Structure 1
Amino acid sequence: MNNKLLIIGGVAAGMSAASKARRIDSELEITAITDDQYVSYAGCGLPYFIGGKIPEQAQLIARRPEDFAQQNISVKTRVRARLIRPEQKCVVTENLETGQLSEESYDRLLVCTGARPYIPSLEAINLEGIFVLRTIHDSLAIKAYMHQHIPKRALIVGGGYIGLEMVENLLEYGCEVILLERSSHLLPNMDEDMALILTSYLQSRGVEVRTSENLTGFAGDSRVREAFTDKGSLPVDFVLLSMGVVPNSELAAAAGVELGIRNAIRVNDKMESNLPGIYAAGDCATTKHLVSGQEVYIPMGTTANKQGKVAGENAAGGSARFAGVLGTGIARAMEMELSRTGLCENECRQLGIDFISRRVKSRTAAHYCPVSGEIHVKILAEKPSGHILGAQIVGFAGAAKRIDMLATAITMRATVESLIDMDLAYSPPFSPVWDPVLVALNQF
């Protein structure tokens, strides 16, 4: 086994890989380079840091370079990879503080360059007051702007998880919030009937929801004052672009690494690229969907950690495999909880899968308990086999984490029939006698 592993990128995938590689091989020389000053932090907590629910930035920091040094892992911050030379097995790097170029040699290379927010090319897109949210730096800039300019009318472009989580945190600043989504409904990876429950709730809380509407540009003086869509104009003084992400795959592609769906780096289940000795993991890499079997790009922090662990083990001489994902996701919009896993109806239709779906409305606890909240559960099953294909949950008071039960069922290739008599825990503060998931299953 060759003895030097170089990792480009930190955070979830890169540092999970470094830690796992060290556990596999105590003698391996491991170096990670990142262009950021923060190497390991909780990116999913950024909306709540902005809203003040997480009071200190330091609470988001998981580990620092000196923590990794204790594992004999060298972390070089503010260093950017500029060029990969596979033939020479080296990476040309730039020190962002001094501008100095150097070369880092490797025996095995792991690319964990992550993804960046999608920013459309629109009129006046660079006005002050228009933000993305991906890094700690982004969150600090947003907080500073909110305190300095005290915006009153905020526009969130994109009805996905981050956009929804930012709704409640912008409301904390006393903003009027407009949520703009170009698809026909919020949460495009869920079915419209489930998303409409969320829409009604947001509207009841004073959020203006605009769907099937495309952003076309902005106007202002030094700061943003107006947003334009294909349906008119909106006065705004704060904008968050939450329109998805783009994999940072250009560095790898320039070196001859093959790209797959959405221009993410194509990897096999051992996280190997097409070039010998070069691996990739995290938000820059593809994976496989466990239901459809197709190559997909679904960037999630959980996936990045798991892929990084597999890549690190294999780069250190192991033989681990990453099975794939279900696209399981969970979020909160004020008190409402949302989750999904597997396939939704539109995805089944696109794949030509014959399916049946059932949706029920129930309670998260016994109706007489103060903690009881409304819950909507939707389950999709294949015809005629009965295999669970997907599930979605919208509700309150502990509703959403029930998705894990259904994600487990899909992973185990369970059928409706095999699940309807599950012996689930019951106590009035936690569930009705018939858990909502069992109620849904018994509708098939």
Structure 2
Amino acid sequence: MHFVIIGGDAAGMSAASRARRNDPAMAITVLEMTEDVSYSACSMPYVIADEEGDMETLIMRAPAVFREKQNIDLRLGHRVEAIDPKNRRVSGKDAGGKPFEISFDKLLIATGSVANMPLIPGHELPHVFVLKSLDDGRRVKAFIEEKRIEKAAIIGAGYIGLEMCEALTERGITVQLIRNRPELLPWLAPELSAAVDTALREKGVLINHGCTTERIETHDSRLDICCREACFDAEMVLMAIGVRPSSFLAKEAGLELGAAGAIAVNRSMQTSHPDIYAAGDCADAYHVVTGEKTWIPMALTANRAGWAVADHITGRPVRMEGVAGTGVFKIFDVEVARTGLTLHEAEKAGFDPVEVVVKTYSRAKTVPGSRPVWVQMVGDRQSGRLLGVSMVGRDNEARRINAAAVALHARMRVVDFSTTDMAYAPPFSPVWDPLLVAANQLLKKI
């Protein structure tokens, strides 16, 4: 069997490595269009924040290891331009522009996602960046250091944009955050979003809400980022307005697309062609709460899906249960966490949702380090099911959210979750854990 993989990051290399463990005799070829594989993209803001940080430390496993230790035919600089499902071939060009064509028995599309770049005047300027690939990280870090940047603008407030507010501030750079919506994180309740907004402003981040960027103009080494209402000056711009699935190859090959334009897959990660699989940010998934298709790009999902593909093609039964959309990020000393559905998402999915927002404390009040924590919890009035939780605080909320995520995977009712035996000791939690406080309040509404 010849197993061909398009894309050499999380899903692709996880699939390649596990397929090799499952079948030492299998022929495995990985086609990666860049010169990097198997790296921690999520860690790039933290390396940028460290003046001595080195992007190369984010490479988890060097290409030579895959080739020499695992006998994987890893080909860098190979851009696939077409997939021919009928004749089981992929074709494209290598780093030197030379055409290639490879036949496959099983194919995995692991092309990931691409950063959104609005095609406004000035988006192509050398001062304007996205932060998606390792090469993007290298360019951003080099530009900051070579130009000795003192002021930067970040357009958008997704996970990367907010993490970069911290990273650039840590480098002594003044940050102007430009947001086209009137609130910072629209999926959070106003109280939780306000806590994040306050944390940013306390650290000197300048925030402009409700400002849609219309153009970027250059004046010598400086930029003007212009909205309808005002213009802001900076020396560099980071576009951080999210990503979209890289599903173009699949679409051109006639494969079915699903949620958010991602490649549609079944619970065994097969596409509409049974011998072609898709995994990672380019593929959709099932949501554990709704049971419906969704697209939520996350690193753990990509790695787990890569394993699932390898298991399936080597004859092991696979059923991917799905995702809850669990995510966390840090902004200075504030932790933001979520899992499951928001009130709006629950309404859209056909539930009869109710919501509570509670403010309590992370530890017993008498213990040093006890901090305020906000919990937003959503449940279904009809079934009593727990539907989603969001948290904002400064004391281990990123860990607490895992309890709620497990509850969603177990399809627990709020009443059942409210009676779970959570650990208590004053240095770690009040007697009533913040999640239990929220669950008890939500029960009153249900």
TM-score range relative to shorter protein: over 0.9
- SS of the equivalent of 1:40 reads coil
**Amino acid aligned to 1:438:** L
User: 1:199, CA displacement in angstroms?
Assistant: 1.0
**Amino acid aligned to 1:350:** K
Q: Give deviations 1:80-109, integer Å, cap 9, x for gaps.
A: 11221222211113111x221121111011
Alignment match, 1:409? 407
* Residues in 1 aligned to 2:210 and 2:344: alpha-carbon distance in whole angstroms: 17
What is the 5 A alignment of 1:294-373?
A: 294-373=292-371
Structure 1 segments unaligned to the other structure (5+ residues): none
Picking from 204, 207, 228, the partner of 2:205 is 207
**Amino acid aligned to 1:264:** A
Q: Aligned in 2, Cα 1:296/1:230: closer, same or farther, shift over 3 Å?
A: farther
Alignment match, 2:89? 90
Alignment match, 1:440? 438
- Residues 51 and 171, structure 2, Cα contact 8 Å, conserved in 1: no
- Residues 418 and 436, structure 2, Cα contact 8 Å, conserved in 1: yes
- SS of the equivalent of 1:226 reads strand
**Amino acid aligned to 1:309:** W
Picking from 231, 248, 251, the partner of 1:250 is 248
User: 1:189, CA displacement in angstroms?
Assistant: 3.5
- SS of the equivalent of 2:200 reads helix
Alignment match, 1:420? 418
Q: Does 1:135 align with 2:130?
A: no
Alignment match, 2:396? 398
Q: Does 1:194 align with 2:198?
A: no
What is the 5 A alignment of 1:373-388?
A: 373-388=371-386
What is the 5 A alignment of 1:10-409?
A: 10-52=8-50, 55-69=53-67, 70-96=69-95, 98-221=96-219, 223-409=221-407
* Residues in 2 aligned to 1:276 and 1:395: alpha-carbon distance in whole angstroms: 45
Deviates most, 53-62 or 376-385: 53-62
User: 1:427, CA displacement in angstroms?
Assistant: 2.1
Q: Give deviations 1:285-325, integer Å, cap 9, x for gaps.
A: 11121212222111111111111111121122332121111
User: 1:53, CA displacement in angstroms?
Assistant: 7.7
Q: Aligned in 2, Cα 1:439/1:394: closer, same or farther, shift over 3 Å?
A: same
User: 1:367, CA displacement in angstroms?
Assistant: 2.1
Q: Aligned in 2, Cα 1:356/1:143: closer, same or farther, shift over 3 Å?
A: same
User: 1:201, CA displacement in angstroms?
Assistant: 2.0
- SS of the equivalent of 2:21 reads helix
**Amino acid aligned to 1:83:** A
- Residues 128 and 224, structure 1, Cα contact 8 Å, conserved in 2: no
**Amino acid aligned to 2:77:** R
* Residues in 1 aligned to 2:119 and 2:273: alpha-carbon distance in whole angstroms: 33
- Residues 191 and 345, structure 1, Cα contact 8 Å, conserved in 2: no
- Residues 189 and 376, structure 2, Cα contact 8 Å, conserved in 1: no
**Amino acid aligned to 2:74:** V
**Amino acid aligned to 1:90:** R
User: 1:173, CA displacement in angstroms?
Assistant: 2.0
Q: Give deviations 1:175-207, integer Å, cap 9, x for gaps.
A: 221222223322333333321221122122222
- Residues 130 and 224, structure 1, Cα contact 8 Å, conserved in 2: no
- SS of the equivalent of 2:60 reads strand
- SS of the equivalent of 1:41 reads coil
User: 1:222, CA displacement in angstroms?
Assistant: 5.4
- Residues 32 and 76, structure 2, Cα contact 8 Å, conserved in 1: yes
- Residues 189 and 357, structure 2, Cα contact 8 Å, conserved in 1: no
Deviates most, 230-239 or 126-135: 230-239
- SS of the equivalent of 1:437 reads helix
- Residues 289 and 325, structure 1, Cα contact 8 Å, conserved in 2: yes
Q: Give deviations 1:361-405, integer Å, cap 9, x for gaps.
A: 122222233322221111111103221000000000212321110
Deviates most, 3-12 or 254-263: 254-263
User: 1:230, CA displacement in angstroms?
Assistant: 2.9
* Residues in 2 aligned to 1:331 and 1:39: alpha-carbon distance in whole angstroms: 24
Aligned residues: 441
Q: Give deviations 1:245-295, integer Å, cap 9, x for gaps.
A: 122211121111111222211111111111231111111111121212222
- SS of the equivalent of 2:423 reads coil
Q: Provide TM-score, normalisation by structure 2.
A: 0.95
* Residues in 1 aligned to 2:229 and 2:268: alpha-carbon distance in whole angstroms: 47
State the 4+ residue runs in structure 1 displaced beyond 6 angstroms. none
**Amino acid aligned to 1:246:** R
- Residues 199 and 332, structure 2, Cα contact 8 Å, conserved in 1: no
User: 1:125, CA displacement in angstroms?
Assistant: 1.0
User: 1:223, CA displacement in angstroms?
Assistant: 4.4
- Residues 290 and 411, structure 1, Cα contact 8 Å, conserved in 2: yes
Deviates most, 187-196 or 151-160: 187-196
- Residues 158 and 241, structure 1, Cα contact 8 Å, conserved in 2: yes
Deviates most, 39-48 or 234-243: 234-243
* Residues in 2 aligned to 1:302 and 1:183: alpha-carbon distance in whole angstroms: 29
**Amino acid aligned to 1:151:** I
User: 1:336, CA displacement in angstroms?
Assistant: 0.3
- Residues 35 and 80, structure 1, Cα contact 8 Å, conserved in 2: yes
* Residues in 2 aligned to 1:144 and 1:349: alpha-carbon distance in whole angstroms: 46
**Amino acid aligned to 1:215:** T
- Residues 89 and 104, structure 2, Cα contact 8 Å, conserved in 1: yes
* Residues in 2 aligned to 1:219 and 1:377: alpha-carbon distance in whole angstroms: 42
- Residues 50 and 171, structure 2, Cα contact 8 Å, conserved in 1: no
* Residues in 2 aligned to 1:306 and 1:336: alpha-carbon distance in whole angstroms: 28
Q: Provide TM-score, normalisation by structure 1.
A: 0.95
